[in-house]
Amino acid sequence: MLEVRDISKSFGGLKAVDSASLDVASGEIVGLIGPNGAGKTTLFATIAGFHRPDAGTVSFEGKPITGLAPHRICATGMVRTFQITQPFAGISVRENIMVGAYFRTADRRLAAREAEAVAALVGMTDQLDQRGADLTVAGRKRLELARALATGPRLLLLDEVMAGLNPTEIVEIVGVIRNIRASGVTILLIEHVMQAVTSLAERVYVLNQGRMIAEGTPAAIADNEAVIEAYLGHGAAKVLRA
Partner 1 sequence: MSRAVLLCVVGLAAAVAYPLLVPNYLVTIGMLVFFTAFIGQSWNIAGGFAGQTSFGHVVFFGTGAYTSTILQVTYGWNPWLAWPVAMAAGGAVGWMIAVLSFRAGLRGSYFALITLAFAEVFRILANSVPFTKGGLGMLIKADPRPANFQFKDPIWIYYLALLLCIVSLLIAWQLTRSRFGARLVAIRENEDAARALGIDVFAEKVKVLTLSGAMCAAGGTFYAQKYLYIDPGIAFGVDKSVEMLLVSMVGGAGTIFGPLIGSFTLMGINEVTRWLASVVPALKNVQPLSLIVYGIMLILIVARLPDGLMSLFRRRPRHA
Note the residues at the interface with partner 1 (CB under 8 A).
48, 50, 69-71, 74-75, 79-82, 86-92, 94-95, 98-100, 102-103, 105-106, 108, 111-112, 129, 131-132, 147-148, 151
Cβ proximity to partner 1, 52 vs 108, nearer residue: 108
∠ Cα 2 173 38 (to 5°): 50
Sorted by sequence, the CB contacts under 8 Å of residue 67 that are 6+ apart come out as: 49, 52, 53
In whole angstroms, give the CA distance from residue 126 to residue 103.
24
In whole angstroms, give the CA distance from residue 153 to residue 199.
23
In this structure, what DSSP letter does residue 68 have?
A: -
Strands 55-60 and 186-190, by their bridges, are unpaired
Cβ proximity to partner 1, 55 vs 75, nearer residue: 75
Burial class (CB in 10 A: 0-12, 13-18, 19+), 212: buried
Cβ proximity to partner 1, 150 vs 170, nearer residue: 150
Cβ proximity to partner 1, 40 vs 80, nearer residue: 80
Q: Give least dist CB 84 to partner 1, A.
A: 10
Sorted by sequence, the CB contacts under 8 Å of residue 80 that are 6+ apart come out as: 44, 45, 47, 48, 50, 70, 148, 156, 157, 158, 159
Q: Give least dist CB 224 to partner 1, A.
A: 32
Q: Give least dist CB 199 to partner 1, A.
A: 27
Cβ proximity to partner 1, 106 vs 219, nearer residue: 106
SS3 (DSSP) at 174: helix
Q: Give least dist CB 238 to partner 1, A.
A: 28
Cβ proximity to partner 1, 119 vs 212, nearer residue: 119
How far from chain centre, in Å, is Cα 109?
28
Strands 186-190 and 29-33, by their bridges, are parallel
Q: Give least dist CB 103 to partner 1, A.
A: 4
Q: Give least dist CB 163 to partner 1, A.
A: 17
